[in-house]
Structures are given as structure tokens and as C-alpha cells.
Structure 1
Amino acid sequence: MRIPLLRVGSVLALLLLAACRIESAAPSGGVAMAQAATPSGEVWVYTSMYRHVLDAMEPLLKERLPGIQVHWYQAGSEKVASRLEAERAAGAVRADLLMTSDPFLYERLARDGAFLRYASVNALRVPRSLMDLDARYAAVRLSTMVLVHRVGAGTAPRSFAALTDGSWTGKVAIGDPLTSGTAFTWAVFLRAQHGDAYFAGLRARGAVVAGGNAAVLQKVESGEADAGVLLLENALAAKAKGSPIEVVWPEDGAVVIPGPVAVFASTRNPVAAKALVDVLLSPEGQRIIVETGDMNAVDPRLDGPRGGPGVEGLLGRARAWTPVLLEQGLLHGGDIKEAFSRAFAR
């Protein structure tokens, strides 16, 4: 993600210098405001975070924020975005916080002035590529698109590019970028590298468009497909339950999808909303995301899920987010979806 330069008070500036994060500073009234008042009242969070992760987070929230009642509207990123857009059109946004896995939505809303600027102290260690340097949003979790392969089904594909080389004709399942936000982000990255020809190549090799990640997993497990493009968190959870799949880190780079958190400018309770952001980005909150959600934390002090690489190691295995990629998904998302539809309609 792309991020501009922030301003900060002298105390936080010294902290940033010590952490070599000069670009990541809080605007006036950010951290100080959260510390100046005792958070209380209600906070509404619109999120695509898994329900079992939210449930695991509840005891920590009650301990750290006893005066706050947190309400969750939990649904897929696309449904959350649809509800949010309807409320914005009506001029009545109920949410205080947004926490989904659609980085393009965050950038669009940020440019519309929908978010407060707030840099949590707990975000100081977050890699700069995962936060907005204007402090309008910051990643709180990382999902990763990788390859999966059914054990015993021949040799596994080694890269996303290999899915179009003819070796996997009729044996690959992928998500649908038209309905799945994570599949769309993956499509943005692959189109940026290979152009529309990549979609045409998938179609020519008989790739099965399965819908969402759960559908991709089902097709690989059932033998309808031998390999698939899947979220790492789904693959790890399935393997822990005995699924006959293996995770393959693509040699041409995994696709990391930041799941940011942001405070709406329209919030009726900014002190409580910012306090909730602090807890989500705390080491304890981040550990719950890793251990319960099988997702990577953004805190580099923590290992990845199931003993995998932490955030810095993960980013070393992934394709880099760039301003160009962000602009592609933000401004040309319709063209990308149309190119995918055109390829698979033949």
C-alpha cells in the first residue's frame, strides 16, 4: 500500500527516531487524545474478520476496555462494502471502525476523506508498506494467496505462471474475482505481471472458477481439481483438520493482502474507537490473529501462523505492493473484472 508523510508531537517523534520510523508519526491530537480520556460507550465495527477470531478477541477487549461495548457487523468484504456504501449514500454511517481485507476500498475511502487520522503507538513497528503514512489506515492482519496441491496428485505447480503452461489443463481451481475480494486482489497482481493474456491462458487450460476460497478448497480436497489458488489461512486450518493438501509457496511470489483498520471521521465515539485500534494492534491482539486466525500479524516480533515466517519473512516471499498496483485496483478494477469475464465467457 502507499502512504504519505505524517506530523507528530515531539515525544512521539523521539520514539519514531528510536524505531527508525521517521515517516510514521501521529498527527496532532492522535495518541494524546486517546490517552486523555477514559474510553467508554459503544463502538460499532464493520469487519470481514472470521467470527471465531472475534470471539477469541472478546476476553482481551473486556480486560483492556471494560467501559466499551463493542458491536460487530461481520460479513464478507464485499457485503461489508455494499452495506457501507448504502449507509454513506443515505448519510448515516453506523460504523465507527472498518476492518476488512480490501485495501483498494480503504484507499478510495481515504481519498474521499472518510477516515480520521490516527497513528497508534502500537503501529510504530509495522512495516511502512503496510500502513498509510497519512495515518488514515494501517494493516492489522495479513492474508496470503498461495498455491495448494492435493497430496498424491502428481507434481505440484511451482508458480502462478505455471498454471497456464499446459501442465495443469483441467486440473486447477481459482476464486472468482467478480465475487471474491481476495481473488480480485490476486487478479490485480497477476494481470499487472502478465496482462490479460494470463486470464485467457487460464481459460484455455480449463481452469475452474470456483467462487470463493471455501469452494476452491472443496474442489481440491474432493479431487475435482489437483491444485488451486487459496488463502494460506484456509489451507492451514484445513490441514490441521486432516485435509490431504499441501501448501506451495509460489516461486513468482505469494500475494499478500493487507487487512487494514480505520476510524471513520463520522464516528460518535473517537476516543473509544482509537482505543480499540490500540488493542487490535497490541502484541496480545496480534497474537490472537496469528494463533486463532492462521493469519500473519503485522508486528515483526511475532512468528507467522503454525510456526511460519513472521511479517518480514512473509514480505520476502511475496510480490511487493506498489503505487502502480494500488492505482490499478482502485481506478481500473472494472476493466480487470471485465477482462476476466471476457476470457471465461469464451
Structure 2
Amino acid sequence: MSRLSLLSRAGLVSVLVLLASCRIESAAPSDASASTAREGTPEGDVWVYTSMYQHVLDAFEPLLKEKLPNVRVHWYQAGSEKVASRLEAERAAGAVRADVIATSDPFLYERLAREGAFLRYASSNVLRVPRSLLELDAHYAAMRLSTMVLVHRTGAAASPASFAGLVGEGWKGRAAIGDPLTSGTAFTWAVFMQSKYGDGFFSQLRAKGAIVAGGNAAVLQKVESGEVDVGVLLLENALTAKARGSPIEIVWPEDGAVVIPGPIAIFRSTRNAVAAKALVDLLLSPEGQRIIAEKGDMHAVDPRLGGPRGEFGLETLMSRSQPWSPALVELGLTRGGALKETFSKAFSR
């Protein structure tokens, strides 16, 4: 994602600028297989390694049967960290089974792109994606957006207005955060916090008795149970919880939510590039993006769609979030190990 915003390549940028200058009407029809028509009919097997929730994958099945009837999509579904571990083991053995990867670890994508693991492919649907989210070398494309926000237990004292407010005296022992050592989304949040507030932020959190809860589900449980009053949580988890009656409120932090792109990419080693490209086209199509928003409770990357469960749309989301930058991506890529060590030391005291 260092190329996700400002670092461009002149050739592809010229093409994108030319195409992006054309108006895309909201009612324009979509054809998920159009970009692969010249290569033949998509058919055969495609393996996708993904961290998308199983119920979202299930929701894709009718669309896949309709649009890609001759393609058999096989999902390996697990958390981003488990997917990365399996992938690294397969790469080490020289036998990558995955044709496509779709997880929520943007740093992994940038590393793999730099190592030459991905097939370059620019779906026509990616032209709808905001420029700040584009990887202009076309090694991968943002497909969905997860967002770290604050959640506050209903009836508890007023929530802090920002992530920085978690280190305030009033929240001593009353806040929970995810563990960046085991959770990919918590790690991305920690990269943003370190970039914005420095290493001392973690020590301050520890001094104020912040509880490291593990993953997002654990954070939510601690807030719901009353063990803590506030937590750092994925918006999608908070929206799903509220829909089932959870006693929590969502707080959009004044210092900016942390948007975590969930990219999609095709491996150079794919045995079925035609079907893999058609699948990427479909997931980035309006139909695919609508499923992501409506079933996954995430923001779609298609700006024409509204936010999940009545939340504001993509443009407002980006304006209320901390921006990605090449420097921040480099921090996560090259200093990720040091960040985890700093965090570990802060919370082991």
C-alpha cells in the first residue's frame, strides 16, 4: 500500500487518468466477465484464501452460480494471520494452492507485491475506487473496508472522544484493546497509533490499565459484560452486535477512525488466470460490493453504494479516517517486528 496512494508508475497512471476522466453512471450495467472475454470463457477451479466471514461467502454463492456458472470456487476461510501462515508454508514448499487471496492485511499484500508474487491485473471495476485506495501498479486492489472505531457500553460514563483519550486518567482500567501480536486488525491500528503518537502511547495505555483482550470478539465481550466501559473494535463487529441488541454505542473518534483495506490479488502461480480474473471482476462489481456492505457490515469500495446498516457512505468515511501514506506503510512493513516488541514490553511490565 505504499503504492496505494502516492507512489505511481507513469504508464499505468496515464491509463487510469484517461479512463477515470470518463463519467461512470450509477445505473450503468455491469458485466463481470467483460474483461476476460478476449481470453475465453471462465471455467474450472479457483482457490481463494480469505478472511471474509463464512456467512458472507455463503451469500456470494447465488451470484457466483449466476454469473460464473462454469467456475468452481473453493474457499479456504480463516483469520488473516492463519491465512498468512498457511500461505507462507506453501510458498516455502514451492506449492501455493491459492489462485486468489482476499484478507485484511494490507501490509502482507505490499510485501508480496514487492516480492513479485502477484499477477498484475487492473479490473475495469477498480476505476470506481477512490484514488487514495488504489495500488497503481495493479498488483492488488482494495475490495472491502474494515474500520476501527470506539465502542461504548450503554449507560456507562461518557466515552472518550478519541483514541488518544484512552490514556486519559478518567479511563484507567476501563478500556480494552485488541492484541497486535495476534490480531491483524489490531496490528494495523497499532501502526497508526505509533505513527501518530509514538512508542510512548503503548506505555501510557499500560499505565492506565488498558486490558489487552486478544481479538475483536474478545474486546466486544469485555465491553458487553461490563468488565470495561469502552473498547477499540471493528465497525462491522459493532454493527452486527447492535443488530442483535448488544448494549453498545459506536463512537467515531475525533482523531480519525482507522480504515483497513481488505485487498484482493491474483497469484502469478495461478493455474487458472481467466477464471481468477473473472472472479475478481465479480467481487468488485456493484453486485459483489452490495453483498459486502449488506451481509458483511463493511464499507464497499464502490462510492455509489451507501454504508452498512444505514451508516454514511465511502466519501464521508474517508473524510473521518486517518489517511494512509507511503511512510505509514513503510513503518508497518519494515518496523512491524519492532512495534510488536515495543508493545509486548509495555504490557509485560
Q: Taking structure 1 as the reference length, what is the TM-score of the superposition?
A: 0.94
**Whole-Å separation in 2 of the counterparts to 1:314 and 1:5:** 27
Partner of 2:232 in structure 1? 229
Amino acid at match of 1:2: S
Which secondary structure state, in structure 1, belongs to the residue aligned with residue 299 of structure 2? coil
**Whole-Å separation in 2 of the counterparts to 1:162 and 1:281:** 37
Q: Over aligned residue pairs, what C-alpha RMSD do you find?
A: 1.8
Partner of 2:2 in structure 1? 2
Partner of 2:316 in structure 1? 313
Q: CA deviation at 1:97?
A: 0.2
Match of 1:99 among 95, 99, 102: 102
Partner of 2:281 in structure 1? 278
Question: Please, which runs of 5 or more residues in structure 2 have no aligned partner?
Answer: 25-32
**Whole-Å separation in 2 of the counterparts to 1:37 and 1:11:** 24
**Whole-Å separation in 2 of the counterparts to 1:11 and 1:111:** 22
**Whole-Å separation in 1 of the counterparts to 2:139 and 2:207:** 42
Partner of 2:78 in structure 1? 75
**How do 1:153-192 residues align onto structure 2 when only pairs under 5 Å count?**
153-192=156-195
Partner of 1:54 in structure 2? 57
Partner of 1:24 in structure 2? none
Partner of 1:26 in structure 2? none
Q: CA deviation at 1:13?
A: 7.1
Partner of 1:25 in structure 2? none
Question: Please, which runs of 5 or more residues in structure 1 have no aligned partner?
Answer: 21-29
Q: Taking structure 2 as the reference length, what is the TM-score of the superposition?
A: 0.93
The yes-or-no answer on 1:295 pairing with 2:283 is no
Q: Is the 8 A contact 1:16 1:124 kept in 2?
A: yes
Post-superposition Cα deviations, 1:5-46, rounded to whole Å, max 9, x if no partner, equal 3646999875333159xxxxxxxxx97555431000000000
**Whole-Å separation in 1 of the counterparts to 2:167 and 2:14:** 54
The yes-or-no answer on 1:200 pairing with 2:206 is no
Q: Is the 8 A contact 2:178 2:213 kept in 1?
A: yes
Partner of 1:23 in structure 2? none
Taking a change above 3 Å as real, the CA distance of residues 341 and 235 of structure 1, as seen in their structure-2 partners, is same
Post-superposition Cα deviations, 1:311-345, rounded to whole Å, max 9, x if no partner, equal 11101000000000100001110000000001001
Taking a change above 3 Å as real, the CA distance of residues 102 and 8 of structure 1, as seen in their structure-2 partners, is closer
Which secondary structure state, in structure 2, belongs to the residue aligned with residue 340 of structure 1? helix
Post-superposition Cα deviations, 1:233-279, rounded to whole Å, max 9, x if no partner, equal 00000000000000000000000000000000000000000000000
**Whole-Å separation in 1 of the counterparts to 2:132 and 2:15:** 24
**Whole-Å separation in 1 of the counterparts to 2:219 and 2:286:** 32
Q: CA deviation at 1:81?
A: 0.1
Q: Is the 8 A contact 1:149 1:246 kept in 2?
A: yes
Match of 2:132 among 116, 126, 129: 129
Q: CA deviation at 1:206?
A: 0.3
Which secondary structure state, in structure 2, belongs to the residue aligned with residue 134 of structure 1? coil
Partner of 1:344 in structure 2? 347
The yes-or-no answer on 1:262 pairing with 2:259 is no
Match of 1:118 among 118, 121, 133: 121
Partner of 2:251 in structure 1? 248
The yes-or-no answer on 1:151 pairing with 2:154 is yes
**Whole-Å separation in 2 of the counterparts to 1:10 and 1:111:** 22
Aligned residues: 337
